[in-house]
């Protein structure tokens, strides 16, 4: 998948990092490294645009043909995303269009859409490391 999020450091109680389970649609394919948005309580799908409510990052591939209705999401660590626009270390970030990008979050925006904060700077289409603690 293009622009997939990659893990740099996992934090949590076990070596795989903190993974939270969400419900998802049965016939939906979600590749590992996809930014997930919260659609309804405890239901996640692939982020498709700007300012989605951040649920986490898909921790494994979810097949569209296995009839599974669960997806795991990483929510605690440092991950590498693709930047949409200029990002400066310390900026709070949100999802961006097209899907699987992050961008600077306006200061007046609700914290529930926050993906995390940049731990290094990046220009458009560069990779940026982000501290996620959802």
Find tokens 């270390």 and name the residue: 89
| 35 and 100 Cβ atoms separated by less than 8 Å | yes
pLDDT for the residue numbered 133: 86
Query: Residues 14, 8, 76, 122: what is their CA dihedral angle, to the nearest 10 degrees?
Result: 180
In-domain check, residue 43: yes
| Domain span at 17 | 6-75
Give me the half-sphere count of Cα atoms (radius 13 Å) on the Cβ side of residue 38: 15
Nearest to 45 by CA among 100, 108, 117: 100
* 21-65 residue pLDDT tens: 999 999 899 999 999 999 888 999 999 888 899 999 999 999 989
pLDDT in the model for residue 1: 55
For the chain, the average pLDDT equals 91
Pick from 52, 75, 98: which residue ends a domain?
75
Q: 71 and 124: one domain?
A: no
Query: Which pLDDT belongs to residue 41?
Result: 81
59 and 90 share one domain? no
Please tell me the total count of domains within the chain.
2
Question: Is 1 contained in some domain?
Answer: no
């Amino acid at each position: 998948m293009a622009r997939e999020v990659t893990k740099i450091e996992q934090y949590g109680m076990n070596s795989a990092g903190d993974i939270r389970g969400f419900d998802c649609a049965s016939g939906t394919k979600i590749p590992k490294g996809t930014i997930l948005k919260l659609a309804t309580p405890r239901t996640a799908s692939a982020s498709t645009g700007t300012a989605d409510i951040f649920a986490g990052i898909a921790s494994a591939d979810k097949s569209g043909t296995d009839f599974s209705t669960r997806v795991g999401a990483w929510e605690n660590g440092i991950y590498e995303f693709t930047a949409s626009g200029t990002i400066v270390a310390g900026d709070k970030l949100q999802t961006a269009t097209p899907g699987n990008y992050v961008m600077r979050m306006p200061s007046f925006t609700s914290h529930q859409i926050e993906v995390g904060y940049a731990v290094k700077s990046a220009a458009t289409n560069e990779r940026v490391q982000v501290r996620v603690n959802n």
